[in-house]
Amino acid sequence: MFVWLRRLFVGVLALLGLVALVLFGTIYYAIDQLTPELPAQWRETALPERILLDITQTGALAETRANDPVALLTSGFDSQPTLVETLQAIDRAARDHRVGALYADLSHAEMGHAAAQELRDAVQRFRAAGKPAYAFADTFGEAGSASAVYYFASAFDEIWLQPSGDVGLTGFSMEFLFFRDALAAIGVEPQMFQRQEYKGVVEMLTRDGVSPPVQENYERLARSIFDQMVADIAAARSIEPAALRSLIDQAPLSSQAALQGGLVDRLAYIEAVRSAALSRAGADAVPTPLGRYARSQPDIQGEASDIALITGSGAIVRQAAGSSFSAETASSGRLVQAIDAAIADSDIEAILLRIDSPGGSYVASDSVMHAVGRARAAGKPVIAWMGDVAASGGYFIAMGADRIIAQPASITGSIGVAGGKIVVQGLLEKLGIGHDSVSIGRNALLYSPTQPLSDSGLEQFNAQLDRIYADFTGKAGQARNLDAAAIDRAARGRVWSGADAQAMGLVDDLGGYHTALAALRTALSLDPQAALNVVPFPPRKRPLDALMDNLGGDFFGILTQLQTLSRVMAALQPVLDQAAITLDPAPLHLPAPAAR
């Protein structure tokens, strides 16, 4: 009876999934066929003649758009642009005579310090074009630090703060949790190893506190990023660095204290700063969300060189090119496939490799680095552009590029290796769970979580880590033209800020997107002002194609994707509404987009 009920339940779920898939496919196909026939003003309403560019950021800006049917389906509406799309839009707005001013609501923004530097650079370029920029927040951190967000805000002409808000410019910190004793209490033994003394990634499992070498390394990293932040804010706000450090030590600051200290310009609510920004943008200016502005067709004068933007974001993993819905990992399969596609595409002249990754699989990282070498050998320059983090495996894939660009606050280096296994033998005994094994081969149980490492196993693990460390440092030395002594000073697991990494020879130039574009022009022997068409690569898939790829063409794969299908159906409502409009024979009269 139980088996029969289970089969019935599975069958019903499969049927529901199939119905949902067919319905989604039918609707999407109809919309896909009709959309090219829609009036251009429906597909993208013309931009106003005078614009106040509105950046209302919620959370952190994504590096890429997920290969997810829901994200692909809804991204054509008012979804938040990616970091690259934001940088491109601000730079374009600086040249656009229609854009009179920039306004940013940062009340709910989140970002790392390198991302803050990217955005600061873009705003400063916008201001250098003679256009004003206003920043607002209801509070910079409520019961929490908002140092990076305020750091970004300091690039604007004026910072407005709600009277009830605070300025949580509390500095820079790193915190760590250690689980050795807790794991020991439940009978779990981490058998982990590292190369060399500064490679502290496994210390959370093997120690009860930070080791002296790692403490020294992290203190240098924190000091470098903190000093950058202080210097940049002090210069932007015309505050003496010593006075700014004193304010930071008193933070979080009330709105009045922040105003008196010169950290903000005005205390007011959001409608006041919007009104002020509108008046500077022009009497007839219309607030235009940056997402809408970014989606409008840019005007590229003359020919432009096509650049493939390939992004590795998240942990680097060995994963086939046919990926799941998740965009939280940097799949070696997808990255290698993208690089090979860029090599094969005759229109692509160079590759901009964006890296925001703490590292991951050694084998996966090596696969990507090798693909980077193939691109260079094919005559297509590769510029590596680092995000908040490009460390360990993230640095591994960067070091094969023609040139490496990092923000001063990018966290990079960590040339080292760590590994091992977690042994749960004691936990099983505590739970009264017996275990046994049959094995043939001296190291057949090397990776077994129920068996501690034997002397032979210890020898094998250490030999493997030594081999990987030698390969990593050897390739880094060759790629960066550093001798063994210089690599030893830069490696041993040390983590660097971008500024310190440049001093150690691990990074070529400090800067962000704009600096990376300049490096691409140089690599292609182009004029410094030559137009570049930087496009995500490979091109994004249509929603239905992405859905079918994720299902793998397997009918029973529907069962494992029902949750995603339900999200797809929930997201279809606005599409259905718009589809109804397209089928209406009456003339199309759409309201103007509301100001936001």
Asked if the structure places residue 72 within a domain, the reply is yes
Please count the other Cβ atoms lying within 10 Å of the Cβ belonging to residue 296: 15
Split into its structural domains, the chain has a count of 2
The segment with the largest mean pLDDT, out of 313-317, 401-405, 548-552, 558-562, is: 401-405
Paired tokens of 443:
């190291």
Name the domain boundary from 506, 521, 536.
536
Residues 283 and 332 in one domain: no
Name the domain boundary from 536, 571, 587.
536
What whole-number percentage of the chain has pLDDT above 70?
A: 78
Res 36: pLDDT: 43
Q: What single DSSP character describes residue 54?
A: E
Residues 323 and 460 in one domain: yes
CATH number at residue 64: 3.90.226.10
Measure CA 523 to chain center: 25
Paired tokens of 525:
């022997």
Domain that holds residue 396: 305-416+451-536
Residues 164 and 256 in one domain: yes
Radius of gyration for the alpha carbons in the chain, expressed in angstroms and rounded: 27
What whole-number percentage of the chain has pLDDT above 90?
A: 69
Instruction: Give the span between the Cα atoms of 24 and 501, in whole angstroms.
Output: 50
> How high is the mean pLDDT of the chain?
84
The model's pLDDT over 140-171, given as tens digits with 9 standing for 90+, comes to 998 888 999 999 999 999 999 999 999 999 99
Residue from 400, 379, 406 nearest 524 by CA: 379
Which amino acid makes up residue 268? A
Residues 359 and 336 in one domain: yes
Name the domain boundary from 271, 295, 319.
295
Q: Which helix (H) or strand (E) holds 391?
A: strand 382-391
Residue 372 has pLDDT above 50, yes or no: yes
Res 43: pLDDT: 43
Asked if the structure places residue 437 within a domain, the reply is no
The model's pLDDT over 281-309, given as tens digits with 9 standing for 90+, comes to 998 999 999 999 998 866 555 689 999 99
Residue from 293, 270, 237 nearest 50 by CA: 293
Residues 152 and 92 in one domain: yes
Q: Is 94 exposed, middle or buried (0-12, 13-18, 19+ CB in 10 A)?
A: buried
The model's pLDDT over 211-260, given as tens digits with 9 standing for 90+, comes to 999 999 999 999 999 999 999 999 999 999 999 999 999 999 999 999 99
Residues 164 and 263 in one domain: yes
14 contacts: CB under 8 Å, gap ≥ 6: 555, 556, 558, 559
Res 283: pLDDT: 80
Sheet with 158-161, side-by-side order of all strands = 266-267, 158-161, 133-137, 99-109, 51-59, 286-289
Paired tokens of 370:
């090798």
Asked if the structure places residue 441 within a domain, the reply is no
Q: Is 5 exposed, middle or buried (0-12, 13-18, 19+ CB in 10 A)?
A: exposed
Higher pLDDT pick, 538 / 470:
470
Higher pLDDT pick, 583 / 94:
94
The model's pLDDT over 519-541, given as tens digits with 9 standing for 90+, comes to 999 999 999 999 999 999 887 65
pTM: 0.83
Residues 266 and 315 in one domain: no
Asked if the structure places residue 586 within a domain, the reply is no
Asked if the structure places residue 444 within a domain, the reply is no
Residues 166 and 315 in one domain: no
Decide if 535 contacts 544 (C-beta within 8 A): no
